[in-house]
Structure 1
Amino acid sequence: MIPVKRQLCIGGYGPGIVTIGEGLTRLASPSFLAGHPTLNILYAVGELSQGWITALGTEGGLSPWDERSTAGDSPCHVAVHPSGTLLAVANYGDGTASMHRLDSRGVFAGEPIVLRHQGSGPVADRQEGPHAHQCVFHDDLLHVSDLGTDEIRRYTLDGAALESIELPPGTGPRHFAFSGSRLYVSGELDGTVTLVDGARVTRVPASRNEAGNSPSHLELAGDLVYVANRGPDTISVLRAEDLSPVAEVPSGGAWPRHFAIDGDRMYVANQHSDGVAVFALEDGVPEPTGEVFEVERPACVLPW
């Protein structure tokens, strides 16, 4: 039975993972979190030069059960396969991705599959080499966005490399989402959202304020695409069909690094203003509730 997920866990660059209503679990730089699909286990990456992934039990508070190296530098994202038998990590610092088998308890089993990469892009100070940024399991393949090489890398679940999805030079792909065969990508370096639908490619500015925008998280909900804009400090709402604009609202703080949608609520992690702002979704548009959870340098929000 899938556990009921009603807590809110927040990771970032403060002293550890904050669970609203329960307090703090100390852990070094837990910049991204993911939950097991059927077990009461939370996974957190430690964004350090020698990266770590920790499995934490969630019964009666968070408690570390297992940990291991991510085989790379500065892990910034973790994802769990829907089967609950495989976990993937993106290491931003050196572009390495890794896959880790999970046993029936949800802890690590066997040796990791290490996926190294090479390449660069035209933005000299950001694309000097590969920078893996997000892992997504889709159609039983692992997809990895590479900000440094302007690609969505693709692998089988055994780690065999397939042909990558190439994006225009200088895009700097960060987070992405699928809807069937459609692919939506936030471009951190060029400030865009890109829709790849077969041979059709649609690109639009992520924000009306294009100057100085570094889009971060992107998420699909129903027929809408949401993207967080760092610099303008807004959340944009676009139609999934053609990326036409629906709304753009203030993020409730500074430097919205991540957000999560849970039912009719959106939680926005504003990294530079030390808070997670709560929004109500009214016809899909975020409306501020006035509620803000104070969290030091939040980077990820996980409804649990």
Structure 2
Amino acid sequence: MSRPGLVIGGYTPDTEGSGPGLTVARQHPDGRLEAVAETAVSGPSFVIAHPRLPLLYAVLERAEDGGLAVLADEDPAPRLLAEHTSGGSLPCHLAIDPEGRWLVIANYGDGTVTAYRLGEDGMPEPEPLTFRHEGHGPNPDRQECPHAHEAVFGPDGVLYVSDLGTDEMRRFLPGMRPHPDGPVRLASGSGPRHFLHHEGYWYVTGELDGSVRVYDAEWREAGAVRASDAVLEGEENLPSHIALSADGRYLYVGNRGPDTISVFEVDGPRLTMVSEVPSGGSWPRHFAIDGDRLYVANQRSDSIALLVLKDGLPEPAGEALAVGTPSCVLIR
């Protein structure tokens, strides 16, 4: 059997979902996706790989005692090695710096950012650093307190953490030192979720205002567009994940509500929509790109959809893979 290509994380019955934990899948030459193994873990809503070692890390998105799972990346399925605290509630994202020295967790529930120093073996060391935050945004239902959402190490070695609850980008210098100038204020009420850096610009999805905003290197807003043109009157769009094509020409955005993937042509601060296609299911929470294939975790339809990229533009391809409440896709 060839090495499986996907590790799928999602919610389990104890975290208000129906998934088994981690699902390992492979793709056959005819395009058909097949689940080949499972690993029982509690609510692994986001999964990443160590940059050098055969290890996977997953946040365990529990409300009372958020967790971190460390797993050996083995065939046919990852093997649980250890669990640690996430340092907060409802952890939803994590990142490792390129050198593999720090692992950082974004806890959505209370906004806490937790940082573990990693040993040479990739295992988290005791006594993690925890960074709490204060503040709120104009939306009383969604921005009553900090909600750390995604952690990204920038090209300058600085760690950036989007805070949906406070409309801020929190910053940490190398060595996990809080930036002396504090966080950067983003557009009020936008609810920054996922983001990325490309050629001097930052591209940020606004979960609460349905936008994609562009910021320059100094975090000054340089442009903004609607994430979807398919939103019906009276409905809302909650953009989720964002990613670039390998050549940097196209920006892809998942839209929960209209259930689409939008494609924008990138020209520095200018984004021009060139396509918007169905995500292949309901509530596209996350997606991953592997060459000319785009895999979408459609959380509410319990499925992983495959879209084929033709000249960078996605098209439906084949049947979806049934997986309970998937929330992320990792390409192995």
272-281 or 191-200: bigger deviation:
191-200
Indicate the SS of the match to 2:300.
helix
User: What is aligned with 1:90?
Assistant: 106
Offset at residue 157 of structure 1 (A): 3.0
Runs of 5+ consecutive residues of structure 1 not aligned to the other structure:
none
- Contact 1:86–1:101 (8 Å) recurs in 2: yes
User: Match of 2:58?
Assistant: 44
Tell me if 1:71 matches 2:87: yes
The 5 Å alignment of 1:1-304 reads 7-13=5-11, 14-20=19-25, 21-49=35-63, 50-60=65-75, 61-138=77-154, 139-162=156-179, 163-198=182-217, 199-210=220-231, 211-221=235-245, 222-241=248-267, 242-304=270-332
Q: Residue 272 of structure 1 aligns to a residue in which SS?
A: helix
SS at match of 2:142: coil
Aligned residues: 301
8 Å CA contact 1:6, 1:303 repeated in 2: no
In 1: Cα distance, 2:40 partner to 2:4 partner: 21
Question: Shift in Å at residue 22 of structure 1?
Answer: 3.0
The CA distance in 2 between the partners of 1:94 and 1:275, in whole Å, is 29
Distance 1:187 1:209 in 2: 16
Once the two structures are superposed, what CA deviation does each residue of 1:242-277 show, in whole Å capped at 9, x if it has no partner? 111110000000000000001111000000000000
Deviation of 1:15 (Å)? 2.3
List per-residue Cα deviations over 1:260-304 (Å, max 9, x = no partner): 001111000000000000011111111111231110000000011
Q: How far 1:200 moved relative to its partner?
A: 4.9
Measured on the aligned residues, the alpha-carbon RMSD in Å equals 1.4
Amino acid in structure 2 at the alignment position of 1:150: D
Matched residue SS, 1:38: coil
Q: d(CA) in 1 for partners of 2:287 and 2:68?
A: 21
How far is 1:159 from its partner?
2.7
The letter of the residue matching 2:256 is R
Deviations 1:212-248 (A, max 9, x none): 1000111122221110000000000012211111100
The superposition leaves residues 121-156 of structure 1 with CA deviations (integer Å, 9 ceiling, x where unpaired) of 000000000000000011211100000000111112
SS of the residue corresponding to residue 319 of structure 2 reads strand
- CA distance in 2 between counterparts of 1:161 and 1:86 reads 14
Q: Distance in 2 between matches of 1:72 and 1:123?
A: 22
Residues 32-83 of structure 1 deviation map (CA, whole Å, 9 limit, x = unaligned): 0000111111101100021110110012331111221010000000111111
Pair 8,115 (structure 1): closer, same or farther in 2 beyond 3 Å: same
Give the 3-state SS of the residue equivalent to 1:120 in structure 2: coil
* Secondary structure of the corresponding residue to residue 139 of structure 2: coil
In 2, Cα distance between the equivalents of 1:92 and 1:71? 11
Distance 2:259 2:121 in 1: 40
Does the CA-based 8 Å contact 2:136-2:145 persist in structure 1?
A: yes
C-alpha distance in structure 2 between counterparts of 1:5 and 1:79, whole Å: 24
Percent identity over the alignment is 49
Structure 1 stretch displaced more, 187-196 or 218-227: 218-227
Does the Cα contact within 8 Å between 2:4 and 2:24 map onto a contact in 1?
no
Q: Distance in 2 between matches of 1:232 and 1:240?
A: 22
For residue 260 of structure 1, give the secondary structure of its aligned residue in structure 2: strand
| Separation of aligned partners in 1, 2:261 and 2:221 | 25
The 8 Å contact of residues 190 and 214 in structure 1, kept in 2 or not, is answered as: yes
Gaps of 5+ in 2: 12-18, 26-34
2:30 maps to which residue?
none
From the two aligned structures, give the one with the greater strand fraction. Answer: 1
1:3-43: CA deviation from partner (whole Å, max 9, x where unpaired): x9852000011220000153110010000000011111110
